[in-house]
Structure formats: structure tokens, C-alpha cells
């Protein structure tokens, strides 16, 4: 993968820049020893690594302002970083950049139940936000798989989703306001405890902007009352087509489950060998979860089951207890770990129209044979967000490149059928050069103009999101 040449003038001033950072932050908040900056050389996309010039860990919005003001004056690029769990390389450093991590900013600033929001510093993990309110019967809805580790800052940067977004939406639908610092150090307050924008919806623009527009230091998040209960049903089918039809029929019948998860045979076999959840050995498996009181769950379950039975499932298992629910979810939640046991894998994140599911799975199977690499599919079937996991051997020369080419072909297929390159992981560096597949030059240009407004010198999170050839004139300007 290409990255721009580092700014040699900045590299030459490394010592002075570090000294200036030490002048505005406590010593422990400036990491500049080369053995220590290596901890920031990559995020969860570990195939690409590059230690930054330095890493800083401010504790307050004021300290973020000071850092950005300094970097702006010095012409130093800045890579915002949440918890470093990006699968797309969203926090990958360059040699000439400063990592600005929010890991020390983990305070709850305000909890307001009557108005149903929580205001936090963005270094808090996703799960700890729910942790702060759950004893009072509330939760924060977006639930990315990495929720134990990932930070709200990264959730906002990538507009994270999760398994339950069919009902509750993704981050942008649950974000009420932010405090954001622009690259020049000015502070912008967008939104708050009220709903919707009074002028242009800049909050909507900032959410999912992958650290291109500013550094979000504080966030006001909508919290929701916990449902009375939730239970899943597991349904196995002999064909992907039929499983897809079943999903479509359930939605058409007016049921809105909180989650509809789909696993294909390779994924079922791998997770079964790993987690022994007792899944049937079948072509396609659905896990559908519904919420409400016991009686409401029973009603929805019986409707879902009656629809599923019309499609001749090989297995249909309604959960009757917390224990059975845990067993049904066990395999799905172990899927990534199970694949990791078998081999190295790359996790993709394209979205497709739900109706294209059988076609796309068939094509992925054909490509898998052409490339000689195995693929397992896990899939948020209600919203069309696919996570094909391509297995490869990182120690085998050429295998990573082969895997990347295969992945790119799958994502192109997603776009071809009317979908998109990324449903919840973001573009980062990983899919940067595929943006031409989804967007015409004018579509990209409109996005670059937004970046021009917020970060006119193009110092924030360089060489991400947009193809390098589309941004070259701006980056060298």
C-alpha cells in the first residue's frame, strides 16, 4: 500500500517539536521514546505499521486545543486515535505525524435520566457508557463487537453499528452532540441535549468522518430504557436463498427484530469446532432476537416461527431461558475467535441490498475457488451488512496480497449489486483506493470540499478515506 512521502522538514525538527509538546503537556502525556512510540505503530489492521513521530495523551479538551494549535502552527500532521481497534487502519500513523490519543479522557461528565442522555469524554469505552447507566435501567444502543475495548471517539469517527442496529440505529442516530476541536485549535459545540440542528446538520457530517474534520473530545449520547427482556430463536436452512427469503418474509410481516444474524456453512463448522454451541450442520443459520415482555416475546416468536416453518427449516430452536439464549449466541459471538484459531483472516465489511444475498454468496463461493482461499460469512442479515472472513497465511509469501485482491473483488461486487464498501468499519487506509469504485470524481470532490472547510491545510489524519490520486493536489499545496 502506498503512503505519501514523509515531510522531511518535520522529521528534521523532531526534537524541537517534542520539546514544545513537553512544554504544553505533563511529561507522562508525551510519548517520544522510539521503543514506546512503537505501541502506536498500528491499530487492529496489523498488516500495516509505522511508528509516529510522537504520541500525546491529553486529559482535557483544553490540552487537545493546545496540542492542535501547536501542530497547526508547526505544520505537523495529527492522527486522532480512540482505542486503536480500527479494522480499517483508521488510526495508522505516518512517520511525520503525531498520534493524538483520547485514552486518558474517560470521565462521565453528566448523566440525565429525565432527559435521557449521558455526556462523556470520548476516551470512554462503548461498554463502559452502558455500564454507567445500566443499574438504573438504561443502556447505550450501538454495540460494535469490539465494545469492550473500543472508544466512543472511534465509534463517532466510524459511525459504528453493531448487531442491534436494525431496531436502534447506528452511532449517528444516537449521538446528540459533540465538543470538537478543529485543527487550528478552535472549539466547536454541535448539538447538545436537544434534538436536531438549528441550522445545517454539521453533527451528522462529523459523525463518520474518520478523524478528517476535527477531534471530538466530548459527546452527548442518547440513552434508552432497557427492554423488559430479549430472547433469540435459531433457525437452520438447507440453502442460503431460502434463509434470505425467510428474512425478507419476516420483515414484510411487520416484525422488527432487534437483530437478525446470518452464518453460512463454513462459519457454522468453524465456530462449532471451536465453541461447541450445538449448532446444526446446515447451509445457513439465522439467529433472530426479539424484545419485550415474556408475552410479547412469545407472540413475536410464534409469528417468526410460523413464517420460518413455511420455508422448511432443518432446525428451529426457540430459546426458553437465559441459559438457552446464551447457548444460541455463543457460536455467533465466538465466530471471529474461531476463525482466528484456524488461520489468519481478513474481515470485510461491505453492505448489500438484502435481496442480493443469495447472488452475492454464490459469487463469493466461486471467487473463493478461483483465488484458492477459504471464506466464511457472518452477516447482519436484517440490514445487509456482510462480514466475509477470508482465511490466509500471513507467513506464506504473497498470501496477504492475494487475500487483499480477493477482498477488493468482494467489495466491488457489493457496490455492483447496489451496496457499499463499508457498513460500519470505515474506509481508513484499507479501502481508500477502492473509493473510485463507489464514487464518481464529482462525488468525491464534494467530500473533499467539506474537508477543505474544516481542515484547509489537510493536516488531520492524512492519506485516509480518499484515494491518494484524488487528494494529491491538496496535500502538497
- Interactions with another protein, residue window 187-206 (CB under 8 A): 187-190, 192-205
Binding of another protein at residue 429 (CB under 8 A)? no
Binding of another protein at residue 457 (CB under 8 A)? no
Q: How far apart are CA 383 and CA 122, in angstroms?
A: 27
Binding of another protein at residue 28 (CB under 8 A)? no
Least gap, CB of 80 to another protein (angstroms): 15
Least gap, CB of 386 to another protein (angstroms): 10
Binding of another protein at residue 427 (CB under 8 A)? yes
Binding of another protein at residue 267 (CB under 8 A)? no
CB of 152 within 8 A of CB of 158? Answer: no
Rule CB under 8 A: choose which of 262, 379, 406, 454 binds another protein.
454
Pairing label, strands 77-81, 97-101:
parallel
Binding of another protein at residue 450 (CB under 8 A)? yes
Sign of CA dihedral 107, 119, 174, 176: negative
CA distance between the termini of the chain = 23
Binding of another protein at residue 317 (CB under 8 A)? no
Rule CB under 8 A: choose which of 74, 296, 404, 433 binds another protein.
296
Rule CB under 8 A: choose which of 52, 58, 232, 419 binds another protein.
419
Q: What is the DSSP string of 217-265?
A: EEEEEE-EEPPS-EEEEEEEES-HHHHHHHHHHHHHTT---SEEEEEEH
Binding of another protein at residue 158 (CB under 8 A)? yes
Binding of another protein at residue 255 (CB under 8 A)? yes
Closest CA to 466 of 443, 442, 448: 448
The residue among 20 and 380 lying less far from another protein, judged by its C-beta, is 380
Residue 97: all three cell numbers together: 505525524
State the helix-helix crossing angle for 61-74 and 14-24, rounded to 10 degrees. 150
Binding of another protein at residue 351 (CB under 8 A)? yes
Rule CB under 8 A: choose which of 85, 126, 130, 209 binds another protein.
209
Binding of another protein at residue 354 (CB under 8 A)? yes
Binding of another protein at residue 228 (CB under 8 A)? yes
Q: How far apart are CA 260 and CA 300, in angstroms?
A: 14
Binding of another protein at residue 248 (CB under 8 A)? yes
Q: Give the contact letters, 106-145, x = binds to another protein (CB under 8 A), - = no.
A: ------xxxxx--------------------xx-------
Binding of another protein at residue 182 (CB under 8 A)? yes
Question: For 128, how many CA atoms within 13 A lie in the half-sphere containing its CB?
Answer: 16
Least gap, CB of 465 to another protein (angstroms): 6
Least gap, CB of 205 to another protein (angstroms): 5
Binding of another protein at residue 353 (CB under 8 A)? yes
Binding of another protein at residue 236 (CB under 8 A)? no
The residue among 305 and 355 lying less far from another protein, judged by its C-beta, is 355
Closest CA to 434 of 444, 424, 447: 444
**Where is 316: in which H helix or E strand?**
strand 315-318
Residue 76: all three cell numbers together: 505537523
Closest CA to 64 of 117, 103, 11: 103
- Binders of another protein among 373-392, rule CB under 8 A? 380, 383-385
Binding of another protein at residue 446 (CB under 8 A)? yes
Q: How far apart are CA 151 and CA 102, in angstroms?
A: 8
Q: What is the DSSP string of 102-135?
A: -TT---EEEEETTTTEEEEETTSBHHHHHHHHGG
CB of 89 within 8 A of CB of 464? Answer: yes
Phi-psi region of 389 (alpha: psi -120 to 50; beta: other; left: phi over 0): beta
Least gap, CB of 163 to another protein (angstroms): 11
Binding of another protein at residue 449 (CB under 8 A)? yes
Least gap, CB of 187 to another protein (angstroms): 7
Least gap, CB of 406 to another protein (angstroms): 19
Binding of another protein at residue 169 (CB under 8 A)? yes
Q: How far apart are CA 427 and CA 462, in angstroms?
A: 13
Helix (DSSP H) and strand (DSSP E) numbers for the chain: 17, 18
The residue among 9 and 253 lying less far from another protein, judged by its C-beta, is 253
Rule CB under 8 A: choose which of 27, 34, 398, 440 binds another protein.
440
Amino acid at each position: 500500500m502506498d503512503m505519501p512521502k514523509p515531510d522531511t522538514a518535520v522529521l528534521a525538527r523532531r526534537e524541537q517539536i517534542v520539546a514544545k509538546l513537553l512544554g504544553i503537556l505533563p511529561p507522562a502525556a508525551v510519548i517520544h521514546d522510539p521503543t514506546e512510540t512503537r505501541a502506536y505503530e498500528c491499530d487492529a489492521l496489523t498488516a500495516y505499521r509505522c511508528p509516529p513521530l510522537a504520541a500525546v495523551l491529553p486529559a482535557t479538551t483544553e490540552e487537545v486545543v493546545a496540542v492542535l494549535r501547536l501542530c497547526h502552527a508547526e505544520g505537523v500532521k495529527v492522527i486522532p486515535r480512540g482505542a486503536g481497534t480500527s479494522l480499517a487502519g483508521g488510526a495508522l500513523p505516518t512517520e511525520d505525524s503525531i498520534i493524538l490519543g483520547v485514552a486518558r479522557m474517560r470521565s462521565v461528565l453528566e448523566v440525565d435520566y429525565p432527559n435521557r442522555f449521558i455526556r462523556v469524554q470520548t476516551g470512554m469505552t462503548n461498554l463502559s457508557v452502558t455500564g454507567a447507566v445500566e443499574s438504573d435501567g438504561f443502556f447505550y444502543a450501538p454495540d460494535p463487537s469490539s465494545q469492550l475495548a473500543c472508544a466512543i471517539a472511534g465509534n463517532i469517527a466510524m459511525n459504528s453499528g453493531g448487531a442491534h442496529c436494525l431496531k436502534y440505529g447506528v452511532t449517528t442516530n444516537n449521538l446528540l452532540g459533540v465538543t470538537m476541536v478543529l485543527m487550528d485549535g478552535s472549539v466547536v459545540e454541535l448539538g447538545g441535549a436537544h434534538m436536531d440542528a438549528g441550522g445545517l446538520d454539521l453533527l451528522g457530517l462529523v459523525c463518520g468522518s474518520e478523524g478528517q474534520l476535527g477531534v471530538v473530545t466530548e459527546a452527548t449520547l442518547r440513552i434508552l430504557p432497557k427492554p423488559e427482556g430479549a430472547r433469540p430463536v435459531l433457525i437452520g436452512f438447507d440453502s442460503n436463498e431460502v434463509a434470505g427469503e425467510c428474512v425478507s418474509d419476516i420483515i414484510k410481516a411487520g416484525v422488527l427484530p432487534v437483530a437478525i444474524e446470518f452464518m453460512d456453512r463454513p462459519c457454522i463448522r468453524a465456530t462449532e469446532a471451536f465453541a461447541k454451541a450445538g449448532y446444526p450442520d446446515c447451509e445457513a443459520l439465522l439467529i433472530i432476537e426479539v424484545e419485550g415482555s415474556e408475552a410479547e416475546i412469545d407472540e413475536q416468536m410464534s409469528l417468526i416461527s410460523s413464517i420460518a416453518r413455511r420455508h422448511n427449516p432443518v432446525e428451529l430452536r426457540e430459546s426458553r431461558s437465559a441459559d438457552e439464549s446464551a447457548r444460541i449466541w455463543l457460536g455467533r459471538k465466538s465466530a471471529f475467535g474461531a476463525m482466528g484459531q484456524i488461520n489468519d483472516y481478513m474481515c470485510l465489511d461491505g453492505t448489500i441490498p438484502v435481496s442480493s444475498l443469495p447472488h452475492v454468496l454464490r459469487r463469493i463461493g466461486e471467487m473463493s475457488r478461483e483465488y484458492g482461499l477459504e471464506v466464511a460469512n457472518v452477516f447482519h442479515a436484517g440490514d445487509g451488512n456482510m462480514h466475509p472472513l477470508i482465511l490466509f497465511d500471513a507467513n506464506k509469501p504473497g498470501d496477504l496480497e492475494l487475500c487483499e485482491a480477493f477482498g477488493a473483488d468482494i467489495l466491488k461486487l457489493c457496490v455492483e449489486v447496489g451496496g457499499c464498501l463499508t457498513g460500519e468499519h470505515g474506509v481508513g487506509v484499507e479501502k481508500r483506493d477502492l473509493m473510485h469504485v463507489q464514487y464518481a470524481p464529482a462525488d468525491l470532490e464534494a467530500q473533499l470540499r467539506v474537508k477543505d472547510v474544516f481542515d484547509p491545510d489537510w493536516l488531520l489524519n492524512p492519506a485516509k478515506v480518499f484515494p491518494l490520486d484524488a487528494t494529491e493536489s491538496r496535500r502538497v499545496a
